[in-house]
A and B are shown apart, each in its own frame.
Chain A
Amino acid sequence: MSLSPEQIRQVAKLARLELNPSLTEAYAGQISNILELVGQLSAARTEGVGPMAHPLEMTQRLRADEVTQPDQREAFQAIAPAVQDGLYLVPKVIE
């Protein structure tokens, strides 16, 4: 499966990744090679095989809906790029 630089840009958009424009073509080539590698999967006979998401034979554990952790907002926000009044600051979203 060969990806064009334009497709790479679209995927990067979905992934919210700004690509270095000088690398886009190199990425297109490398990613196309990787997709060729994984393309081998299409030859596998998988009719009737159940997909496996993880190795465990268990379902999601539940716990009682009780507060068990103290409020650590200050500790967590101490390492944030920009905070104010307990809120994370980002560039304006709504005009």
Chain B
Amino acid sequence: MHTLSIKQLGEALRARKFSSRELTQHYLKRIETLDPQLNSYITVTADLALAAADAADARLARGEGGPLTGIPLGQKDIFCTTGVRTSCASRMLDRFISPYDATIVKKLQAEAGMPMLGKLNMDEFAMGSSNETSWYGPVKNPWDVSRVPGGSSGGSVAAVAAGLAPVATATDTGGSIRQPAALTNLTGIKPTYGRVSRYGMIAFASSLDQAGVVARSAEDAAQVLQAMSGFDPLDSTSMDRPVDDLVAPLGRSIQGLRVGLPREYFAEGLDAGVRACIDGAIGELKKLGATFTELSLPNSPLSVPTYYVVAPAEASSNLARFDGVRYGHRSAQAKNLEELYEKSRGEGFGPEVQRRIMIGTYVLSHGYYDAYYLQAQKVRRLIYDDFRRAFEQVDVILGPTATDVAFKLGAKTDDPVSMYLNDIYTIAANLAGIPAMSLPCGFKDGLPVGMQLMGNFFDEAKLLNVAHQYQQVTGWHTQSPKGFE
């Protein structure tokens, strides 16, 4: 059952070939047996999942099921889920039981009828590219358990790649959906900023964060993203515009599609093996009728520096709420209010989170604001303008997602800057706010390689269409890691 697509699962459930309860139990059993090797789940919600599965079965029996009814999912542990621990993979929220549901949780679970298998592991407060900063331990890559799955949505991708969930939600602030998807042979999409509600999604960097999906195919991703998207009055950054049909256009031909190749993304620094896979994909897309143009995104090299000013600055503000007063970890050692704040935060946050809070505090402080933060905001505008100009010439932009395949656990933990450089190709899309996705395009030394597609604002349907057409003529995305088939 875990090898079926969302479409096939939906058809089987509606035809009552098996029940949602059976399907959910199947995944729960796999999680129990296989997840100890991966550590992809922080909290498994077996009872809730089965109760939701029964409710889904009742809807299906009444003939009221939708395309996702009864299909289980994993939720990245950054989304608030009522009555269930929502930890953000941090000691700060280890005992935080959320009193409310995130909007996407309501949409996917209560409305679409997807039972939640559990809360998925991640880098602490979404800060990381390897899922090694989690309070609950690192996640392993099912393709090679001595390697990282990528981050911050490492649990989401490990679970889906290993067949421990058919699909999972994830979030992307600097590449945290796309990079781990690339490292685990999955299709991951970050929608346009404002497309999916951030209400109930624990904030890291409010102008960059977006919720999205990791799935085994573009077709699967489209179904779930469709259900997640839409205006939410509870999120002041939610765009009030109708959601396009993401599923119907999947079947369109891409004859005449204009694809841009940014020269800055194909410079040195890109591994030759990765390059070879991308070149193969370009060949396939040409056969489908796409035309390619080289273009320039001249401010690309400034993406990482810009991000590592803007994101920590916003994080330092967003994480100020964790002070030991109203929720979360409170230090037992505090003798006065000052110590309550300092010790609760010092004890509750891991080193990467502390580093980022300090960078953010520094760049926003008096005397440094203009040189760092204001300058970064201006460079952000330059990066945004590069994309606006590019989309006057092309429909989509193609490039690598990550610089190389999955690295070994521990390889980059001593040097934050080398870890940050993993996001070199993904960050610009968050700064500009455009939609972007990663999909499998080959293997290097037995490890998955992903390619990235970036689209114009609100053009998720086009991205998914291109990805789906590519996946109709290639089989990379159908492969599964050994030991998890």
Contact = CB atoms under 8 A, between A and B. Distances in A.
A53 B207 contact: yes
A88 B337 CA distance: 12
| Chain B binding surface, main DSSP class | helix
B345 A37 contact: no
A50 to B, nearest CB: 6
Contact of A54 (B207, B327, B379): B207
A88 B233 CA distance: 29
A66 interface: no
Given A38-B305, A51-B378, A79-B97, A88 B340 contact: no
B277 to A, nearest CB: 28
A12 B342 CA distance: 9
A23 interface: yes
Contact of B358 (A17, A50, A75, A91): A17
Interface in A78-92: 78-82, 88, 90-92
Interface in A3-40: 3, 8, 11-12, 14-20, 23, 27, 30-31, 33-35, 37-40
Contact of A52 (B194, B339, B361, B377): B377
Nearest to A28: B358
Contacts of B323: 16
A52 to B, nearest CB: 4
Contacts of A8: 358
A41 B358 contact: no
B309 interface: yes
Nearest to A82: B330
B378 A50 contact: yes
A44 B416 contact: no
A58 interface: yes
A91 B355 CA distance: 27
Interface in A51-85: 51-56, 58, 60-61, 63, 72, 75-76, 78-82
A52 B327 contact: no
Contacts of A79: 96-97, 99, 327
Nearest to A14: B361
The contact size tier of chain A is: 35 or more
B257 interface: no
Given A55-B194, A79-B327, A81-B325, A33 B416 contact: yes
B207 to A, nearest CB: 4
Contacts of B473: none
A61 B97 CA distance: 30
Interface string B433-467: 11000000000000000000000010000000000
Given A17-B354, A54-B433, A56-B193, A11 B378 contact: no
Contact of A15 (B237, B335, B361): B361
A18 B331 CA distance: 11
A37 B420 contact: yes
B237 A54 contact: yes
Contact of A34 (B193, B325, B416): B416
Nearest to B327: A79
Interface stretch (B103-111, B153-161, B368-376, B395-403): B368-376
Interface string B92-103: 000011010000
Interface stretch (B219-227, B287-295, B380-388): B380-388
B340 to A, nearest CB: 6
5 A-B pairs with least C-beta separation: A55-B433, A18-B346, A51-B377, A54-B207, A46-B378
16 contacts: A15-B345, A15-B358, A18-B347, A19-B354, A30-B415, A33-B416, A33-B417, A34-B416, A41-B305, A41-B309, A50-B378, A51-B380, A61-B236, A81-B325, A90-B340, A92-B337
